Structure 1
């Protein structure tokens, strides 16, 4: 039997290799270096869940799947397929090998025969999806396993009962995504890409993977640091826990165990830490966790995780102005607007190396923060921010746009007057996905600010949403509406201004809110051979060469520094990279050209972090 299994695997591998040889990027758009060297036999092979590692019994299902696009009214599995699609790249992307749009009237179907090892028969077999945009139905061996709605949050299904005899199992996925024709969160996607609105992203766009777990297993953990008390608040969800089951939590500083505690499963505890080192961008100290499910002295399940001790808060200085404090020290937050788009993969970077590249370059440029703009990244991106030392402001992807009146001038509008009236269905979709996103990202210490709304893009019930967000996660600050319609709720008052630096009036608002410049800059420089299209590219202010660009950028930083002295707590420069026809990035869209050298940017930025507040 072992010989037969090995032969079957060999045949499957050989067939896959032949298919992979036929794969090539679709279209004629620019590619990143990583996209040019992508191995279609092994895309994104890394373990995808850094905050709940169970690396022994898992396998990636990334690679070539069959696909077809049919009328959305067809509910049965297609009988024929158009060709191969490379997962986890959206069907519209070059790296999918397809490059086709779908739209609200069509559905995208996937199919793949997977090999499930015999070892996965013991316990439960879980099928995980990092993200699928937007409505996803999953079938295993013809059995409907479940449906998920939400384009930015991870989900999974227990497929154990659907497995048939033998190793080969058929997985079929149906996806429907109305993009800008629906009310769901979608970020910058639009059916008619132009200006600041980009190509649709439909279908699977993060890793798909299979995991084997015991009958009783750790589903998730939640860890929240309490710096003032030197505590880590910890809880875990355990599936099929038995009476008397215990969780053993061990804390490690490198190889040294520094704390441990055992307690009843599905209960919470506070782990005491002696003189913990605090996390900050200059010293991104992480502690490791080893979590074991114990039954009558035997380890039933075991996962690894990590955490950091850090505190984000608001304090009023001697000048009467509120500012953001990290670990009880004023730290000016300065970073780029980071949209996380790629010319070849759209929402999906071509590799984990590419994913990390943007974070590394941001740090090398002397930024200490990233505003992740109306997109949620795959979990490994946040791990990179945690370990490299970057503060993250996390936006909620916007959706259901239109009908809002945008007024970003504080003091000119009354509470909630410009909130959009969304349908009950639209509101429910937003609330469900915002909670799912916050749950999925809670354990990443780099995230210090939640941003429920951007400008007037689908903004509704601002006071209610902001208060809920503050109550649901009091360990972080909340920027209710970045550059949006101010309901005078939350911790931060945030304006957008292009291209120059500006700030809310500290005399009017400095004693009530943290003052932030949520977007500015947008200095554009198209670089020949590295643009999405040959002409009609744009920036908020365009330049002819790198020298002109650098001179103007230095002026902006000088102006920004003057505002920090007046009480500004944060600035967000637009943006990390060019994105489609926008050429206002510090790097080109393909990441091949950095427009201002990293060392020069870092030297410019140093002055921003030298302010001492009493």
Structure 2
């Protein structure tokens, strides 16, 4: 009888993990918010371009505390936060501001699986905004600055006992600092949005041998029908070898070996090309061999595609895909979520916007002043979408001019601010280099934080010569890079033209339609032009598309429409912010978009 009573009391006192969490606040939410299981958050493998068979997800409910800047590790925490959702977001379960005078602390405990044996254990963070310090079992193991790139620690020497205690401290000055932050601002309004502080991508651990592959650089060379692969490695010895096997589906077509540290060339006979119309991906297995024994193995993929520019028969410099003129057309995609802010509620949600972009008849996405988790780029690779990748804005902006050639204004950033920019941009490029969907790098947007434009452009090109560089999207033009990028709202307008570079319309549109019940704000919603219903909005979109089509023949080689979804106070998306309503007629938009794209094929 006593045993039965004890069990009953224990069950009553035990509070389910899920009961400790619920979304905070009363803002609109996506349908995926209802699908979140706090014991199994974003369970998909986070790095599909370099996949191992074993890993463990550390996402879930952690302890958190918001303290004054400079205080010591908390003795008591404020409550639970759902990682990896930023503390300001609804899905974190907290929804509190932090700011430059506070610090955000996290604590969790995890167990390393017993079957990982004598492996080294790597602790990975997808992204943490902005400056973070880390302790494992009360020993400080490292720090990191930068809100958009992944990083990791080898925590093997610091493991102690069965359960490991991880503590993280984050400081993020948001718009009070010079660091890249995109659209984040401490007082959100208009086109500026809620700050994002702390962990906002998956945290995970994986086991590796002492000799292992740590990074991949994958570059297709379509003109010579070959692929160049270089692998960064850890702990290797002279004589260790990399073996790369290429598969067409499940059929093995190539097997090549090379010494570690060397560029490995893989020749492909009549390669299958990747394009938005036919996004074919080759699969690969990469093995690290030491003494003829496999000590590490990762799975990856690649695409054979080429992005370039060339003058056409009319003397216009055109973007080319796989050595053919190709008009790139897509939406400005900011990647914000009403419930998760920077973080999509689920992987299905992360993929949804890309699927919708394809349904709308687009072949490109401009990822605007934000960097996404690795899985987003893999979805683009698999679905067939070209990507222009912006560097997130930071620091301040000079006076912005957009209608003159080569009269760009620049700010004088401090040495520290320049170093922050270059460190983060280089890390972003290194992180995203293997993803074939990315075809354009955009170092600056609308003058924000723009400095040393020619130098930064040339440096970016040196970091990755395989892609085009759009130096200054929207204005403050300099005679550098591959692209002249114009912005014009609301309608398309070719008011400048460069006879020696590709000319594109980097932003236009912004047709607004506020829909009650799907608004982040009840007042002061914003769009360049606003209409009252879907029919009017669609008609105006089609009108603009027809005008754009006429400008393709006279000079435009790409265009970007603003935007994929509403975002906070902006109501100019194809979809509402909660993704529950399509605000235009999808079939009519698709027909109009396909007509524009086909202008270069006529």
Alignment counterpart, residue 52 of structure 2, candidates 51, 54, 60: 54
Corresponding position of 1:558: 546
- CA deviation string 1:110-167 (max 9, x = no partner): 00011112233512111000000000111100011100000000000011111012x2
Alignment counterpart, residue 237 of structure 2, candidates 219, 224, 242: 242
Corresponding position of 2:82: 86
Given that residues 420 and 458 in structure 1 are in contact (C-alpha distance below 8 angstroms), is that contact kept between their aligned partners in structure 2? yes
Corresponding position of 2:457: 466
Corresponding position of 1:424: 415
Following superposition, the deviation at residue 408 of structure 1 comes to: 0.8
Alignment counterpart, residue 117 of structure 1, candidates 88, 113, 116: 113
Corresponding position of 1:252: 247
Alpha carbons of 1:16 and 1:267: their partners in 2 closer, same or farther (altered >3 Å)? Answer: farther
In the alignment, structure 1 segments of 5+ residues that lack a partner are 1-13
- Asked if 1:107 is matched to 2:100, the reply is no
Distance (whole Å) between structure 2 residues aligned to residue 612 and residue 20 of structure 1: 54
- CA deviation string 1:345-380 (max 9, x = no partner): 000000000000000000011000000000000000
More deviation, 91-100/496-505: 496-505
Q: Report 1:208-287 matches (<5 A).
A: 208-287=203-282
Given that residues 89 and 339 in structure 2 are in contact (C-alpha distance below 8 angstroms), is that contact kept between their aligned partners in structure 1? yes
Alignment counterpart, residue 297 of structure 1, candidates 292, 297, 316: 292
Alpha carbons of 1:388 and 1:17: their partners in 2 closer, same or farther (altered >3 Å)? Answer: farther
- Asked if 1:22 is matched to 2:20, the reply is yes
Given that residues 349 and 355 in structure 1 are in contact (C-alpha distance below 8 angstroms), is that contact kept between their aligned partners in structure 2? yes
Corresponding position of 1:153: 149
Given that residues 290 and 302 in structure 1 are in contact (C-alpha distance below 8 angstroms), is that contact kept between their aligned partners in structure 2? yes
Distance (whole Å) between structure 1 residues aligned to residue 256 and residue 200 of structure 2: 39
Alignment counterpart, residue 134 of structure 2, candidates 127, 135, 138: 138
- Asked if 1:308 is matched to 2:296, the reply is no
Given that residues 216 and 239 in structure 1 are in contact (C-alpha distance below 8 angstroms), is that contact kept between their aligned partners in structure 2? yes
Given that residues 47 and 55 in structure 1 are in contact (C-alpha distance below 8 angstroms), is that contact kept between their aligned partners in structure 2? no
Distance (whole Å) between structure 2 residues aligned to residue 147 and residue 225 of structure 1: 35
Distance (whole Å) between structure 1 residues aligned to residue 230 and residue 445 of structure 2: 32
- Asked if 1:128 is matched to 2:103, the reply is no
Corresponding position of 2:583: 595
Alignment counterpart, residue 69 of structure 1, candidates 59, 66, 70: 66
Given that residues 542 and 588 in structure 2 are in contact (C-alpha distance below 8 angstroms), is that contact kept between their aligned partners in structure 1? no
SS of residue paired to 2:336? coil
- Asked if 1:367 is matched to 2:358, the reply is no
Distance (whole Å) between structure 2 residues aligned to residue 372 and residue 495 of structure 1: 17
- CA deviation string 1:228-282 (max 9, x = no partner): 0001011101100022211100011101111111111121111101110110000
Given that residues 453 and 484 in structure 1 are in contact (C-alpha distance below 8 angstroms), is that contact kept between their aligned partners in structure 2? no
Distance (whole Å) between structure 2 residues aligned to residue 15 and residue 512 of structure 1: 73
Given that residues 344 and 350 in structure 1 are in contact (C-alpha distance below 8 angstroms), is that contact kept between their aligned partners in structure 2? yes
In the alignment, structure 2 segments of 5+ residues that lack a partner are 1-11
- CA deviation string 1:37-85 (max 9, x = no partner): 21111110110001110022x10000000000011111x3210000000
Q: Report 1:397-416 matches (<5 A).
A: 397-402=392-397, 404-411=398-405, 413-414=406-407, 416=408
SS of residue paired to 1:212? strand
- Asked if 1:524 is matched to 2:522, the reply is no
SS of residue paired to 2:16? helix
Distance (whole Å) between structure 2 residues aligned to residue 533 and residue 78 of structure 1: 35
Corresponding position of 1:31: 29
Corresponding position of 1:441: 432
Distance (whole Å) between structure 1 residues aligned to residue 13 and residue 28 of structure 2: 30
Given that residues 538 and 588 in structure 2 are in contact (C-alpha distance below 8 angstroms), is that contact kept between their aligned partners in structure 1? no
Corresponding position of 1:4: none
- CA deviation string 1:559-582 (max 9, x = no partner): 000000112101100000000010
SS of residue paired to 1:611? helix
Given that residues 538 and 585 in structure 2 are in contact (C-alpha distance below 8 angstroms), is that contact kept between their aligned partners in structure 1? no
Distance (whole Å) between structure 1 residues aligned to residue 442 and residue 334 of structure 2: 14
Distance (whole Å) between structure 1 residues aligned to residue 267 and residue 256 of structure 2: 9
Distance (whole Å) between structure 1 residues aligned to residue 130 and residue 70 of structure 2: 16
Distance (whole Å) between structure 2 residues aligned to residue 88 and residue 55 of structure 1: 22
Distance (whole Å) between structure 2 residues aligned to residue 145 and residue 484 of structure 1: 43
Alignment counterpart, residue 575 of structure 1, candidates 545, 549, 563: 563
Distance (whole Å) between structure 2 residues aligned to residue 595 and residue 484 of structure 1: 30
Following superposition, the deviation at residue 613 of structure 1 comes to: 6.5
Following superposition, the deviation at residue 504 of structure 1 comes to: 4.3
SS of residue paired to 1:610? helix
Distance (whole Å) between structure 2 residues aligned to residue 599 and residue 543 of structure 1: 19
Q: Kindly report structure 1 stretches of 4+ aligned residues shifted beyond 6 Å.
A: 14-17
Following superposition, the deviation at residue 600 of structure 1 comes to: 2.2
- CA deviation string 1:310-337 (max 9, x = no partner): 0011100111110100011111111000
Distance (whole Å) between structure 2 residues aligned to residue 169 and residue 223 of structure 1: 36
The total of aligned residue pairs comes to: 592
- Asked if 1:164 is matched to 2:160, the reply is yes
Distance (whole Å) between structure 2 residues aligned to residue 556 and residue 341 of structure 1: 26
Given that residues 135 and 175 in structure 1 are in contact (C-alpha distance below 8 angstroms), is that contact kept between their aligned partners in structure 2? yes
- Asked if 1:174 is matched to 2:169, the reply is yes
Distance (whole Å) between structure 1 residues aligned to residue 420 and residue 460 of structure 2: 16
Q: Report 1:349-368 matches (<5 A).
A: 349-368=344-363
